[in-house]
Chain A
Amino acid sequence: MKEIIRLEDIRRDFTVGDETVHALRGVTFTITEGEFVTVMGSSGSGKSTLLNILGCLDTPTSGDYYLDGVPVRTMDKNRRATLRNRKIGFVFQSYNLLPKTTAVENVELPLMYNPSCSARQRREKAVAALEAVGLGDRLMHKSNQMSGGQMQRVAIARALVNDPAVILADEATGNLDTRTSYEVLVLFQQLHAQGRTIIFVTHNPDIARYSSRNITLRDGRVTGDVRNHDILDAARTLASLPVEED
């Protein structure tokens, strides 16, 4: 299997005043193509710091990081921006859609920063991505006319539109109620089934049971890394949830 991510002894120190915070203290692992990895850990364990490094938003203090075979640590800001644009899809806890902007325009956004993509290709890809997340009928809805679940699905479509090597999600279900969380989880499982590589940061232990692998962080170190051989089906769980009366 193709190796998508390789971390070698990643450390990340923050200097606050004259104290040094060791957010990551030597993280090493590899992720291969098609894995659905959940990263768990209590608050302050370094999950977000790790995700920022994986997403090429931040550079480690030491250690090496290869994304799709490309060494990231030595890259300058601009090349990292291009790398993010071509190889990474972000899904944030708070959606981060542009206000007063239609779903399709929101999804097109990453391609706006890719000069090799024509306006027509952009539109086609955005529509396809929205169809893939089940919003084919909501293309022209503006972000403020949608529910939280719909907004997060637009955000997922935006993460998919550039056909990334890896999708990074930081507490992607954190703002959603249980039912909608499972709907989103169903979507992630579908993407996994299509062979996408997903890294999903969460502090909800239940979610780990729907992924293929679970990495646990504690105090900036990996304390657990287990493969899940008994992946639960989110669609089933969703069907068994009591229907909310509302």
Chain B
Amino acid sequence: MNLTNLFKIALKALGNNKFRGFLTMLGIIIGVAAVITMLAIGQGSKRSIQAQISEMGSNMIMIHPGGERRGGVRLSADDMETLKIEDLEDIGSQAGFVTYVSPAVNSSGQAIYGAHNTPTTVYGVNRDYLEIRRYRVEDGDVFSDRDIQTAAKVCLVGKSVVDELFPDGQNPIGKVIRFGSIPLRIVGVLESKGYNSMGMDQDDLIIAPYTTVQKRILAITHLQEIVCSALAEDYTEQAIEEITSILRDNHRLRPGDEDDFSIRSQQELSSMMTSTTDMMTVLLAAVAGISLLVGGIGIMNIMYVSVTERTREIGLRMSIGAKGRDILAQFLIESILISVTGGLIGVVLGIGAAFLVNILASYPIYIQPWSVILSFAVCTVTGVFFGWYPARKAAGLDPIEAIRYE
């Protein structure tokens, strides 16, 4: 009938028992706060992993020599030299879904400049590598194609290497450092990328023409790795198919033969990692959801007790003209008010707790608007669902008996 009046009646009834109302709310408050915080943490780590992966190049594809490893057993050394520069050239010219392609050979060692030295890794690549791994040159320039042809003794250095070798803040461009015994002239400095999701310093590297590393440092002719990037992350599958058929062709593998190379994609890695965090989110949310359920049962319990306690009041209301549905509405509104108020407080607390986690534990969080709306909606539904049975009981009372109830 008159909803405003029913609201007033319900508010008044709750006001008569504030402390109990608060205790009932507590279950909902904790439940909602838990849901919000857990989802914020789950989504936060997912987002940060996704961001780091896309920073590394989410469309990156890595080709290694040798077939799939089985049970951790490495295949024979012959297999490890299957990738040649021709493979790279063919992928570059034939694979339509591949945009950039670069060889990669690397060697770990000591970088030295004057009295300073630091352990690092030199990567022998071509100019595409910077595009694939999303490195940008901050200062100076990339080595030229000619440098590659001539296996020139030039290099680009990451920020961490610069910091170690030039602690006094000298301009590193044009300086000649040594990697092991090979002198390399710095032609550019890379923009800092920080640490990746595995905690590796992405600025601790030297980049040189692959020919230089192959001939002058490693003395090999094969490639340790080929990295390329697909047109876009969504074309990774097609790019891998193309690469596979080109390489099988080049290596003269017959149908039925095992691949003598293996292909990994960042997308594969990314979906593996996000599925892990997704599962974590689901688990956290499930635990939080259970506490919300417990909160709901708390409401039902209290409303049930309240109906019994207020039997006479219900009888009186009916005798002065309240219909069954008025009583039903009153008790439903009471339980919805409890759950919605609890939900509101819970949302605020949950967001607060999430930020606290972020500040104190410096854990990434992300509060998704839908998670707030959802838990709020669940609260209201909880109020209706768990308030329904007690309210029905109240509405079904016989006024004559109710008013005499002791």
Binding site for B on A (CB under 8 A): 52, 55, 57-58, 77-78, 81-82, 84-86, 90, 92, 96, 98-101, 105, 109-110, 112-115, 158
Contacts and interface: CB of A to CB of B under 8 A. Distances in A.
Contacts of A158: 320
Contact of B324 (A55, A78, A101, A114): A78
B317 interface: yes
6 contacts: A77-B324, A78-B324, A81-B318, A98-B316, A101-B16, A112-B5
B1 A113 contact: yes
Interface string B303-323: 000000000110111111111
Contacts of B325: 78
Nearest to B316: A96
Nearest to B399: A57
Nearest to B6: A112
A105 B1 CA distance: 19
B323 A101 contact: no
Contacts of A92: 316, 403
B326 interface: yes
Contact of A77 (B2, B312, B319, B323): B323
B328 to A, nearest CB: 12
Contact of B312 (A52, A82, A96, A113): A96
B36 to A, nearest CB: 35
A79 to B, nearest CB: 9
A90 B399 contact: no
Contacts of B321: 81-82, 84-86, 110, 113-114
A98 B320 contact: no
B320 A113 contact: yes
B400 A113 contact: no
A158 to B, nearest CB: 7
B331 to A, nearest CB: 15
A82 B318 CA distance: 10
Q: State the 8 A-B residue pairs at the shortest beta-carbon distance, nearest first.
A: A85-B321, A115-B2, A110-B320, A113-B321, A81-B323, A96-B316, A112-B5, A100-B16
* Consensus secondary structure, chain B interface: helix
Interface of B: 1-2, 5, 8-9, 12, 16, 312-313, 315-326, 399-400, 403
B313 A98 contact: yes
A114 B318 CA distance: 13
Contact of B319 (A57, A78, A101, A112): A57
A113 B322 contact: yes
A78 B403 contact: no
A5 to B, nearest CB: 17
A96 B1 CA distance: 24
Given A85-B320, A112-B9, A113-B321, 12 more contacts: A58-B400, A77-B324, A81-B321, A81-B324, A84-B320, A90-B320, A101-B16, A110-B320, A112-B5, A112-B8, A113-B5, A115-B5
B319 A84 contact: yes
B218 to A, nearest CB: 88
Contacts of B5: 112-113, 115
Contacts of A98: 313, 316
A202 B2 CA distance: 36
Nearest to B9: A112
A52 B400 contact: yes
Nearest to B13: A98
Given A99-B16, A115-B1, A81 B312 contact: no
Nearest to A158: B320
A90 B403 CA distance: 12
Nearest to A122: B5
A185 B9 CA distance: 32
Nearest to A100: B16
A109 B320 contact: yes
Nearest to B326: A113
A96 B317 CA distance: 10
Nearest to A77: B324
Interface centre among A52, A55, A98 (most CB of B within 10 A): A98
A196 B16 CA distance: 35
B9 to A, nearest CB: 6
Nearest to A78: B323
B187 to A, nearest CB: 83
Contacts of B322: 81, 113
Contacts of A82: 321, 323
A12 B43 CA distance: 68
B394 to A, nearest CB: 14
A205 B403 CA distance: 26
Contacts of B1: 113, 115
Contacts of B313: 98
Contacts of A85: 320-321
A35 B16 CA distance: 40
A186 to B, nearest CB: 24
A80 B400 CA distance: 14
A44 B316 CA distance: 23
A109 B322 CA distance: 10
A112 B1 CA distance: 10
A186 B282 CA distance: 72
A35 B403 CA distance: 27
B396 to A, nearest CB: 11
A85 B319 CA distance: 8
A57 B400 contact: yes
Contacts of A55: 319
Nearest to B312: A96
Nearest to B15: A100
A110 B321 CA distance: 7
A85 B318 CA distance: 9
A96 B316 CA distance: 7
A78 B324 CA distance: 8
